[in-house]
């Protein structure tokens, strides 16, 4: 079966939603829009009013049955607004959304749940809203209860639930009502690791028979679930295609925090470079390749047995890896007033494809005193076939017996 024979379950055309930056004008514009609806006027418009901005602007895409569409972008790019437009939680100011089939949505904590009702009661309420009879819900109830795994809290009011418990119940209901369309926001990040694995496995099961739209900041999870991904930037779709290429496009839009410096100042890192063959600066390295770095330092006092630590953070601030002369001891002493140059070679650079911020530290031998700590001094782009689940992937010698 070719793609043209697979039914389209989500179709979006020129979809736009505007928000206002100030509360006073937001209330006034809301009254104007309500009046326009009452008088049956056309609410669609091509221009913004004062203090408004496009949270989503002119979005066009479609999702077929059996397809998982990833949605990525920095905070404020319009990802959650897009999902709310798809689920019908907010009205578009322009364009259209066509959905075919039953929709299961997990966008906000406790969305669709009554806080005063128990988890058990909420399961039946949400199922009824989605069009299921009590008998149909009864047949699915044991599976929902087992998947959520919240024990006796199932008969407690939802207002007593933790954020993770709300996610457990909400996802379990949405994923076990046989949706044709499943909308999932970054909310899964609230759950524990074991439950996230259950969720991703369940999405894998559902993907063949429904259309999934999956929003996440975790690039490896997007790469695992979605073959196709769109990148949002300031409300506009700037890329729609292969997930690996989408992540590369997203990395180009992200700005690493500006450089800052801490430490006693008795010694300073004066320069840092990532080098290639011929000692040329290399902002991009290939996964698994040899990487060479050069660090220049100067001290105002003698420092014996100094430690240099090179630290790599992912673009969302997660510590990914570090390299220092403490793990594999190398004598490093600095003399007063004289420059010191250190060459560092990593034979196989095993950070997975992505963009990383690099920091450098100069410390005492016991790593308690920081002479210099230069954060976000540069970035490095690691390229490869596709992202993996972890930040780092070991290259091992394999032998099959």
**What is the pLDDT at residue 343?**
93
Question: Where a domain ends, among 253, 285, 305?
Answer: 253
Per-residue pLDDT at 279 exceeds 60: no
Could you give phi then psi for residue 140, rounded to 5 degrees? -90, -10
**What is the pLDDT at residue 155?**
92
**What is the pLDDT at residue 1?**
55
Per-residue pLDDT at 401 exceeds 70: yes
State whether 14 and 42 are in the same domain: yes
Q: Would you say residue 199 lies in a domain?
A: yes
State whether 373 and 318 are in the same domain: yes
Torsion of CA 71, 75, 81, 87, to 10 degrees: 50
Q: What whole-number percentage of the chain has pLDDT above 70? A: 91
**What is the pLDDT at residue 11?**
95
Find where tokens 């909310």 sit.
187
Q: Would you say residue 231 lies in a domain?
A: yes
**Cα separation, 250 vs 238, whole angstroms:** 9
Element (H, E) at 310: strand 307-314
Per-residue pLDDT at 368 exceeds 90: no
**What is the pLDDT at residue 248?**
80
**What is the pLDDT at residue 200?**
81
Average of per-residue pLDDT across 25-47: 75
**What is the pLDDT at residue 257?**
62
Q: Would you say residue 190 lies in a domain?
A: yes
Alpha helices in 59-177 (DSSP H): 79-87, 119-129, 134-148, 163-175
Q: Would you say residue 391 lies in a domain?
A: no
Average of per-residue pLDDT across 97-121: 83
CATH of the domain at 118: 3.40.50.300
**What is the pLDDT at residue 277?**
58
**What is the pLDDT at residue 188?**
67
Vertex 123, ends 119 and 127: CA angle to 5°?
165
Burial class (CB in 10 A: 0-12, 13-18, 19+), 182: buried
**Cα separation, 383 vs 65, whole angstroms:** 31
**What is the pLDDT at residue 387?**
64
Task: Say which residues have a Cβ less than 8 Å from residue 186's Cβ, sequence separation at least 6.
Answer: 79, 80, 215, 216, 217
Burial class (CB in 10 A: 0-12, 13-18, 19+), 31: exposed
Average of per-residue pLDDT across 11-33: 86
State whether 135 and 278 are in the same domain: no
Average of per-residue pLDDT across 339-358: 89
Total structural domains in the chain? 2
Q: Would you say residue 399 lies in a domain?
A: no
CA atoms within 13 A on the CB side of 86: 34
- Each residue's pLDDT tens digit, 74-105: 888 899 899 999 988 888 888 999 999 888 87
Three-class SS state of 39: coil
- Each residue's pLDDT tens digit, 289-306: 889 999 999 998 888 888
- Between 23 and 388, where is the model more confident? 23
State whether 56 and 124 are in the same domain: yes
Element (H, E) at 103: strand 103-106
State whether 150 and 293 are in the same domain: no
Task: Say which residues have a Cβ less than 8 Å from residue 194's Cβ, sequence separation at least 6.
Answer: none
Average of per-residue pLDDT across 187-206: 77
Question: Where a domain ends, among 205, 221, 253?
Answer: 253
pLDDT band at residue 192 using 50, 70 and 90 as cut-offs: confident
- Each residue's pLDDT tens digit, 383-398: 887 666 677 888 788 8
State whether 246 and 323 are in the same domain: no
Which domain range does residue 65 map to?
3-253
Per-residue pLDDT at 258 exceeds 80: no
State whether 244 and 329 are in the same domain: no
CATH of the domain at 378: 2.70.50.60
Per-residue pLDDT at 65 exceeds 90: yes
Burial class (CB in 10 A: 0-12, 13-18, 19+), 307: buried
**Cα separation, 149 vs 168, whole angstroms:** 8
Q: Mean pLDDT over all residues of the chain?
A: 85
Q: Would you say residue 378 lies in a domain?
A: yes
Task: Say which residues have a Cβ less than 8 Å from residue 394's Cβ, sequence separation at least 6.
Answer: 350
Per-residue pLDDT at 278 exceeds 60: no
Q: Would you say residue 322 lies in a domain?
A: yes
pLDDT band at residue 111 using 50, 70 and 90 as cut-offs: low
**What is the pLDDT at residue 255?**
67
Q: Which of 216, 129, 214, 205 is nearest to 173 (CA)?
A: 129
State whether 277 and 343 are in the same domain: yes
Show the tokens assigned to 155: 């008969």
- Between 384 and 61, where is the model more confident? 61
**Cα separation, 222 vs 326, whole angstroms:** 36
* Other CB atoms within 10 A of residue 57 CB: 21
pLDDT band at residue 16 using 50, 70 and 90 as cut-offs: very high
State whether 97 and 12 are in the same domain: yes
pLDDT band at residue 23 using 50, 70 and 90 as cut-offs: confident
Q: Would you say residue 400 lies in a domain?
A: no
Find where tokens 């490093």 sit.
332
**Cα separation, 309 vs 323, whole angstroms:** 6
Task: Say which residues have a Cβ less than 8 Å from residue 171's Cβ, sequence separation at least 6.
Answer: 106, 147, 148, 184, 188, 191, 199, 202
Average of per-residue pLDDT across 244-258: 77
- Each residue's pLDDT tens digit, 204-234: 888 888 999 999 887 878 888 888 999 999 9
**What is the pLDDT at residue 276?**
65
3-state helix, strand, coil in the chain (%, to 5): 30, 35, 35
State whether 220 and 341 are in the same domain: no
Element (H, E) at 63: strand 52-64
- Each residue's pLDDT tens digit, 308-337: 999 999 877 788 999 998 887 888 888 898
State whether 372 and 235 are in the same domain: no
**For helices 163-175 and 193-207, what crossing angle results, to 10°?**
20
First-to-last alpha carbon distance for the chain, in angstroms, is 41
Question: Where a domain ends, among 198, 226, 253?
Answer: 253
Average of per-residue pLDDT across 48-75: 90
**What is the pLDDT at residue 265?**
86
Show the tokens assigned to 161: 């639930």
What DSSP line would sit under 238-295, residue for residue? EEEEEHHHHHHHHHHHPPPPPPEEES-SSEEEEEEEEE-TTS-B-SEEETTS-EEEEE
Least-confidence region, from 92-106, 181-195, 256-270, 361-375: 181-195
State whether 202 and 281 are in the same domain: no
**Cα separation, 77 vs 232, whole angstroms:** 6
């Amino acid at each position: 079966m070719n793609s043209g024979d697979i039914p389209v379950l989500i179709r979006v055309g020129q979809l736009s939603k505007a928000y206002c930056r100030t509360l006073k004008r937001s209330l006034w514009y809301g009254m104007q829009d309500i009046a326009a609806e009452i008088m049956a006027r056309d609410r669609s418009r091509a221009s913004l009013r004062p203090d408004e901005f496009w949270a989503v602007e002119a979005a066009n895409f479609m999702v077929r049955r059996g397809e998982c569409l990833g949605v990525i972008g920095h905070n404020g790019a319009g990802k959650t607004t897009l999902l709310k437009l798809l689920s019908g939680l907010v009205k578009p100011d322009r364009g259209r959304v066509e959905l075919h089939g039953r929709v299961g949505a997990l966008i906000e904590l406790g969305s669709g749940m009554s806080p005063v009702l128990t988890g058990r009661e909420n399961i039946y309420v949400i199922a009824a809203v989605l069009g299921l009879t009590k008998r149909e819900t009864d047949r699915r109830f044991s599976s929902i209860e087992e998947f959520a795994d919240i024990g006796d809290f199932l008969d407690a009011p939802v207002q007593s639930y933790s954020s993770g418990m709300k996610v457990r119940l909400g996802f379990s209901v949405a994923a076990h009502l046989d949706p044709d369309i499943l909308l999932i926001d970054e909310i899964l990040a609230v759950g524990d690791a074991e439950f996230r694995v259950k969720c991703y496995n369940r999405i894998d099961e559902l993907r063949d028979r429904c259309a999934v739209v999956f929003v996440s900041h975790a690039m490896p999870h997007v790469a695992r679930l979605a073959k196709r991904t769109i990148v949002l930037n300031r409300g506009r779709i700037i890329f729609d295609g292969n997930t690996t290429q989408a992540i590369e496009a997203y990395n180009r839009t992200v700005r690493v925090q500006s450089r800052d410096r801490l430490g006693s100042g008795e010694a300073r890192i004066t320069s840092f470079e990532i080098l290639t063959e011929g000692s040329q600066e290399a902002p991009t390295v290939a996964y698994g390749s040899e990487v060479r770095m050069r660090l220049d330092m100067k001290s105002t006092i003698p420092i014996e047995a100094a430690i240099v630590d090179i630290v790599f953070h992912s673009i969302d601030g997660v510590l990914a890896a570090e390299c220092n002369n403490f793990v594999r001891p190398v004598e490093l002493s600095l003399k007063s007033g004289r420059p010191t140059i250190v060459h560092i070679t990593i034979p196989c650079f095993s950070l997975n494809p992505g963009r990383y911020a690099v920091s450098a530290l100069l410390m005492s031998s016991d790593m308690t005193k920081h002479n210099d700590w230069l954060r976000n001094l540069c970035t490095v782009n690691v390229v490869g076939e596709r992202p993996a689940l972890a930040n780092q992937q070991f290259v091992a010698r394999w032998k099959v017996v």
